[in-house]
């Protein structure tokens, strides 16, 4: 993401939030490969009827504020807003191994519109 993008993250599927973990870190530019490991981030672990997936918000050089709007043990609907990274940076989505991925690296995606992948009903 860059400063011109929308920085709100949405639920990729209807799921229950199992836990969220905050990891303090650096604020390296997102284009540096180790930024995804060393920068401040927040992990979200979800359960979708026994199928687990995760989302990670990663701060960057300018994006130094990660916002979390959801609470564990609550179920959220696909498209619900759950967080934001002020000024944008990186969001990683980890789908189940059984998922059929619908995007490729470098694709521009739109929150709440672009299908990232599909996997069977829970």
Confidence (pLDDT) at 106: 85
Confidence (pLDDT) at 2: 54
* Sheet with 41-48: strands ordered across: 75-76, 15-23, 41-48, 51-58, 90-94
Residue 43 token pair: 């992990």
pTM: 0.86
Helix (H) or strand (E) holding 115: none
Closest C-alpha to 113, from 65, 79, 70:
79
Q: 10-residue block means of pLDDT along the chain (122 residues)?
A: 68 95 91 89 96 94 86 95 83 91 89 85 71
Q: Which residues are catalytic?
A: 89
């Amino acid at each position: 993401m860059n400063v011109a993008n929308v920085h709100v993250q949405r639920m990729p599927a209807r799921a229950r939030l199992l836990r969220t973990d905050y990891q303090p870190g650096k604020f390296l530019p997102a284009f540096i490969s180790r930024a995804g490991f060393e920068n401040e981030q927040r992990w979200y672990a979800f359960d979708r009827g026994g199928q687990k997936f995760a989302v990670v918000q990663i701060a960057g050089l300018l994006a130094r504020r990660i916002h979390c709007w959801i609470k564990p043990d609550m179920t959220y609907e696909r498209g619900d807003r759950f967080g934001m990274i002020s000024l944008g940076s990186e969001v990683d989505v980890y789908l189940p191994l059984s998922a059929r991925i619908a995007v490729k690296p470098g694709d521009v995606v739109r929150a709440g519109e672009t299908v990232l992948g599909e996997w069977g009903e829970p």
